Chains A and B, each alone.
Chain A
Amino acid sequence: MREAQASAVGAGPTRARLAWRWLRELPLLPIAIILVVLVIPAIFAEYLAPHNPYSGSLRARLQPPAFLGGPSEFLLGTDHQGRDIFSRIIFGSRISIAVAGAGILIGGSIGTTLGLIAGYFRGVAETIVTRLVDLTLSIPAILVALVVAAAIGARFTTVVAIVALVLWAVYARQVRAEALKWAQSDFVARARVAGASHFRIIVRHILPNIANTLIVLSTLQVGFVIVFEGSLSFLGVGIPRPNPAWGLMVADGRIHVVSAWWIAFFPGLAIMLTVLSVNMLGDWLRDRLDPKLTQV
């Protein structure tokens, strides 16, 4: 672990200097957007939302946004049930974060574990894992989601499970390649000679070295998960109504696009802004931490 850090940092500038340089180069706009659109609303939803996201009055149906001449209490207008779109978007951020967080945590842990095993022990384990990875990646997850929804109905847990099902393969593929490389390194060989157990070598020597890859990979997956969950919800096989999931709100707005375009527009804009920002942040991190990580 110590050696890994030493070789990563090198004998150059001090740690504090490096940290400072990092801070100065941070992509501020994407980070600001992520905070404003995703993180802050999710934490303070109850305090920020002016209305109840689940109920509205039918008298206030299809009101245009305040800045386009609608009533001033509905900043982004109301939907076909008179619910305040602004409040729903604020509460919707919680769903996006929850699905992305849970999906990446579960899928990432499974994928990382299997990738480490495959890359470190090789042999049969590697064959099985790579086969399964190829298989998983060649079946469109949306089909699985459709079958699951048709068989047992859609709910939060199934969405997370399907996200995890896709992600584990992405993680396993990348981690296996990395683990393979580090397993052949000098300090792993030395640790082995010194009598360290396999578990200890993997956890103390290999895992810290692939931490950067995991951070970059996870950041890049957040955008994918949010769009994916949005697609499932939009199709009615993701988060069930009346939850204010962004994709669901776009679906609600679709038939009203002629008369009330704002119903679909603003939730979709929230998705786009968040995902674009997360991807930009991910690109930036990749350039800093792991330039070799394959794209697509």
Chain B
Amino acid sequence: MLRYLIKRLGQTVFTLFAVTVIVFGLGRMTGDPATVLMPVEARQEDRARIMELWGLDQPLHVQYLRYIGNVLRGEFGDSLQWPGRDALELVLLRIGNTLELGLVALLFAVALAVPIGVFSAVYKNSAIDHVGKFIALLGQSLPHFWIGIVFIWIFAVNLRWLPTSGRGTWQHLIMPAVVIGWFQVAALMRLIRSAMLESLDSEYIKLARLKGVRERIVIWKHALRNAAIVPLTYFGIMIAYLVVGSITTEVVFSWPGVGLLVVNAVTARDFPVVQAVTIVFAFVIVLANLVVDVLYGVFDPRIRFE
């Protein structure tokens, strides 16, 4: 387990390093990073301060080291859009809202995908299997940003059941969470179905039945516990999709999270904030992947004891 964790930690560091290189490179691709990192109307002393912060008069490798140092200390500079506000602070103020939405969406997805996936494997080729297949196909074809607007039009504008946008009550959470979770349902369900089919066909399921274990327990304990390991390996990719989903969905529902912040920052060409968001997002994703890997060990004793 320890060796496994150390190996994963190494990969994590490598990924983070790569992210910083990409962001660093893109920020300097325009030729004159000063224009990217500074508001057009910057005064002379601001200009000097930013040049100093990022070491823009130094050779590239020194700039990178400076940049890494800044990133590690959490110094991304002030927001250009809201002068005087620290970019990282703006991000950290909103990250909780984004995580809240993402978590609820994930719960929704799991709550829906697990039963559908299990039942469509247990009753293969039955009505529920076909319905599940269609849900999966539809889920992968619906653009988040559009279905969100359609939901608003139906449930908020016409039926007036739910608030159109913003954050506050639990009602505010429903539509954005469903919109993000929808896509995950499709992918997760397919994975669980195929993993369940494989698991149900195994010898240990045969032996469990031969022991006289109830079919309910055979399916939900023996088969599902094994089948659950497979989707876990795809969680990294799913989290990446969750980020994509949360960014467009936050815009649609004006959810005051990091996604909305970064899109506004891009529109305002507020590069320090974009940079801070990207790095924070990368950290969250990488961290989530690490947590998943630990969970993976918990779920699969063969790894835990390696």
A contacts, CB < 8 Å to B: 131, 134-135, 137-144, 146-152, 223, 227, 230-231, 234-237, 247, 250-251, 253-254, 257-258, 261, 264-265, 267-269, 271-272, 275-276, 279-280, 283, 295-296
Contact = CB atoms under 8 A, between A and B. Distances in A.
B29 A151 contact: yes
A254 B253 CA distance: 10
B258 to A, nearest CB: 11
Contact of B144 (A231, A237, A261, A265): A231
Given A147-B274, A276-B137, A231 B248 contact: yes
Q: Which 10 A-B pairs have the closest CB atoms?
A: A268-B146, A276-B141, A275-B141, A150-B274, A140-B240, A234-B145, A140-B243, A142-B244, A150-B266, A147-B26
B289 A138 contact: yes
Given A234-B251, A296-B190, A296-B191, A247 B140 contact: no
Given A144-B22, A271-B143, A150 B270 contact: yes
Pick from B23, B145, B194, B243 the residue with the most CB of A within 10 Å: B145
Contact of A237 (B145, B240, B266, B286): B266
Contacts of A139: 15, 18-19, 22, 240, 282, 285
Nearest to B242: A140
Interface string B125-159: 00000000000011011111111011011000100
Contact of B30 (A151, A234, A250): A151
Given A140-B243, A234-B145, A272-B142, 4 more contacts: A142-B243, A235-B263, A257-B149, A268-B149
Contact of A137 (B22, B143, B237, B267): B237
Given A142-B247, A257-B149, A268-B146, A236 B267 contact: yes
Given A135-B15, A150-B270, A236-B266, A250 B146 contact: yes
A135 B274 contact: no
B255 interface: no
Nearest to B286: A138
Q: Is the interface of B mostly helix, strand, loop or mixed?
A: helix
8 contacts: A137-B236, A139-B15, A234-B145, A267-B146, A268-B145, A268-B146, A272-B143, A295-B190
Contacts of B241: 140
B271 interface: yes
Given A140-B240, A150-B274, A279 B141 contact: yes
B278 interface: yes
A135 B14 contact: yes
B240 A276 contact: no
A267 B150 CA distance: 12
Contacts of A137: 236-237, 240
A147 B150 contact: no
Pick from B23, B240, B275 the residue with the most CB of A within 10 Å: B240
A251 B144 CA distance: 12
Given A138-B15, A264-B146, A151 B141 contact: no
Nearest to A152: B30
A265 B26 CA distance: 35
Contact of B263 (A146, A250, A272): A146
A191 B229 CA distance: 41
A66 B14 CA distance: 57
Contacts of A269: 146
Interface residues of B, number: 59
A139 B289 CA distance: 11
A147 B23 contact: yes
Contacts of B275: 147
A276 B135 CA distance: 11
Given A137-B237, A283-B137, A271 B146 contact: yes
A228 B147 CA distance: 14
A142 B245 CA distance: 10
Given A230-B143, A271-B146, A296-B190, A147 B22 contact: yes
Contacts of B220: none
Nearest to B279: A143
Contacts of B36: 150-151
A167 to B, nearest CB: 14
Contacts of B118: none
A295 B194 contact: yes
Contacts of B252: 254
A151 B143 contact: no
Contacts of B248: 231, 234-235
Nearest to A250: B146
A140 B146 contact: no
A271 B147 CA distance: 11
B269 interface: yes
Given A142-B244, A150-B269, A257-B153, A272 B30 contact: no
Nearest to A235: B263
A272 B149 CA distance: 13
Nearest to A296: B187
Interface string B166-203: 00000000000000000000010011001000000000
A143 B282 contact: yes
Nearest to B281: A143
A287 B34 CA distance: 53
Contacts of B138: 276
